[in-house]
Structure 1
Amino acid sequence: MALGNALYDQKLASVYDRMYPIDHDTAQAVEFVAGRTPPDGRILELGVGTGRIAVPLAERGFRVHGIDGSEAMLDELHRQNPQTAVTTQFGDFTEEGTGGVFDTVTLLLNTFFVAITKEQQLGTLRLVHEQLAPEGRFVLEAFDPAPYHHLEKPDFSMRHLDEQAVMLDTLAVDRSQQLMLSTHTIIDGGAPATREHVLRYAFPFEIDLLAELSGLRLVERMEDWCGTPYTSASLRHVSVYERDPDSPWAAVAG
C-alpha cells in the first residue's frame, strides 16, 4: 500500500497477506490483467504491496514495475520472492511517476482510496494517464461504498491471523468528508500493536468523473474478475479505462 496516512509498517507488512487471504481472487485477477496486456507487455502496479498480483504476472513473462509508499511492504515482497523479476520503487503514486510508459496500469484492492483528498485522487489518475500507453488499459478495483456511507456508529470485527494471533478492527465513517477511519489492533502474545488508516471512498460514477478530468474514459465495468455484470447490488467493481484522445482534459493530464 502507499501513502503516509495508510502506511503499512513492518508489523502490518508481516501479516498483510493473512489479513486478506484471497488466493482464489488473486488467480482470477492475474488472469484478468494478463488477458488485457500484450505478450511481454509492461505492467505498472500502483500500491504493489507484497506482490500478490505483480509476482505471478512477472512469472508469466510480463515486465512488471511496482511503486509503493511503504518500504516495509517492498521489503516483504523481496523477502518472500528473492528471485522475482518485479522492479520496485519507493514513492507516493499520487505525486510521483516512474518516467516510463506501460501497456497496463493497475490500482487494486481499494488502494485508490488511500488518496484521502479529491486532489490526491485526481493527481493519481492524471499520473496514470501520463504513464499509460496510447492503446493501454488502466484497471481499477474498489469496493462500492454505499453500505459504508450509511454507517451510523462504529463497526467492530475480528480477524483470525493464525493460531497465535488475531486482529481487532474498528471502522468509523465521516459521511460529510467520505472518510473511513480504520483501527487495527494485533494481539499475538506481545504488547498489542494498534495502527490507524484513513481512506477517502468514492462512488463509481465519481471515479468516472475524476477519470474524465484526467483524460481517461471508462471501457468496461463488472462486479468481479470473472466478468459478473455490475448492478445496484454489487459490493465492489472492477473498472477498466483507456486514454481518451478526444478529451479536452488530456493536455492538462499530461
Structure 2
Amino acid sequence: MTAYAMDDLEPNPFDERVAPTYDAGSAHMFEPAVLGPTVDVLYELAGDGRALELAIGTGRVALPLAERGVEVHGIDFSEAMVAQLRRKPGGDRLPVTIGDMSTTRVGSGYRVAYLVYNTITNLLTQDEQVECFRTVAAQLAPGGSFVVEVFVPQLRRMPPGQTAVPFHVGRRHVGFDTVDVVTQRCVSHHFVRTEGDTDAGGRGVATYSTSAHRYVWPSELDLMARIAGLTLRDRWADWTRAPFTADSSSHVSVWTKAAA
C-alpha cells in the first residue's frame, strides 16, 4: 500500500500554488548538460517540420527548441503552468491548447511529438496512456516520431515491506515516491525550499506538494505504440543517446509512424 491515499492528493498538482515554484524545484532539469542534448535530439527529429509538446508546462523545452527555428505547438491541462510560460520571453508566441493530452487533438502533420520528464505517468490508467499514443499517432505526419522520456521503475531498490524510494535529493529539492506495485500507482512527494524564505526562527521554508503517477515499463510502452500503429526506432538511457541497459534508471524512446 502507498503511504498516502489517492483521494488525499491535490486534484491538480500543478495549480496556482505549485506553478510559480515549479522551475525552481526542477532547476537540475535546466542544466545545459540536461537541456542541451534534449533540444538537440528534438531539433534533429523535427527537421523542417513542426513539433508538438504534450504537457508543455512552463516551456523548459519548448522555448529553446523554438529559438532554434522549430515551430512548436503545445498542450497542457494546467492554466497556471501555461501562465508561467507566457511570462517568459517568447512564451506569448507559442500556440498552446488547454486540454487533456490523452484526447486533445490540435492539428496534424507534426514531424515530432514529445513527452518529457516522466509526464506520461501523469495519466493514471493504462487506458489513458494507450489513448495518448493513439491521439499522438493521429496527429503525426507519415514518418513522424513520438518521443517519450520516462523513468524505469526502480522496484529492485525496494526490499520486501518497503514502500518508498527517493528519486532526487538536492539543495533545494527533495523528492521520493511511495509505490503500490499491484496497481502500478505511485505518489511523488516534493519538498522545495524557496531561496531567501525563512520562518520566524530564521530557518529555511519548504513547500510540500504531491502528484500521482502510473509507472509504466518500456515493453508496455512498446505495446501501446504498436496498438497506435507506431514502431520502436530507438531507445537510449538518456538524451545523450547512451546505450539503454538493464541498469538504466530512465529511457528516451522514439517510435515512428509508417511513411506514406
Please give the alpha-carbon distance, in whole angstroms, between the structure 1 residues aligned to 2:90 and 2:56: 16
1:117 corresponding residue in structure 2: 125
Q: Does 1:30 align with 2:42?
A: no
Q: How has the CA–CA distance of structure 1 residues 150 and 83 changed in structure 2, closer, same or farther, with 3 Å as cutoff? A: closer
Please tell me whether the aligned partners of residues 74 and 95 of structure 2 are also in contact (alpha carbons under 8 angstroms): yes
1:243 corresponding residue in structure 2: 257
Q: How has the CA–CA distance of structure 1 residues 233 and 218 changed in structure 2, closer, same or farther, with 3 Å as cutoff? A: same
Paired residues, what number?
237
2:215 corresponding residue in structure 1: 201
1:90 corresponding residue in structure 2: 98
- Aligned residue type for 2:43: A
Q: How has the CA–CA distance of structure 1 residues 219 and 6 changed in structure 2, closer, same or farther, with 3 Å as cutoff? A: farther
1:153 corresponding residue in structure 2: 163
- Aligned residue type for 1:183: H
Please tell me whether the aligned partners of residues 110 and 144 of structure 2 are also in contact (alpha carbons under 8 angstroms): yes
- Aligned residue type for 2:239: W
1:10 corresponding residue in structure 2: 16
Please give the alpha-carbon distance, in whole angstroms, between the structure 2 residues aligned to 1:6 and 1:177: 21
2:112 corresponding residue in structure 1: 104
Please give the alpha-carbon distance, in whole angstroms, between the structure 1 residues aligned to 2:259 and 2:50: 21
2:4 corresponding residue in structure 1: none
Structure 2, gaps ≥5 residues long: 1-9, 200-204
SS of 1:145's partner is coil
TM-score by length of structure 1 reads 0.84
Q: Does 1:139 align with 2:147?
A: yes
Please tell me whether the aligned partners of residues 148 and 253 of structure 2 are also in contact (alpha carbons under 8 angstroms): yes
1:223 maps to which of 237, 243, 258: 237
Structure 1, gaps ≥5 residues long: 162-166, 247-254
1:53 maps to which of 61, 72, 78: 61
1:236 offset after TM fit, Å? 0.8
Higher RCO (CA < 8 A, seq sep 6+): 2
Measured on the aligned residues, the alpha-carbon RMSD in Å equals: 2.4
Range with bigger deviation, 152-161 or 11-20? 152-161
Please give the alpha-carbon distance, in whole angstroms, between the structure 2 residues aligned to 1:19 and 1:108: 16
SS of 1:55's partner is helix
Q: How has the CA–CA distance of structure 1 residues 202 and 96 changed in structure 2, closer, same or farther, with 3 Å as cutoff? A: same
1:234 offset after TM fit, Å? 0.9
Please give the alpha-carbon distance, in whole angstroms, between the structure 1 residues aligned to 2:253 and 2:207: 35
Please give the alpha-carbon distance, in whole angstroms, between the structure 1 residues aligned to 2:81 and 2:147: 21
Please tell me whether the aligned partners of residues 149 and 173 of structure 1 are also in contact (alpha carbons under 8 angstroms): no
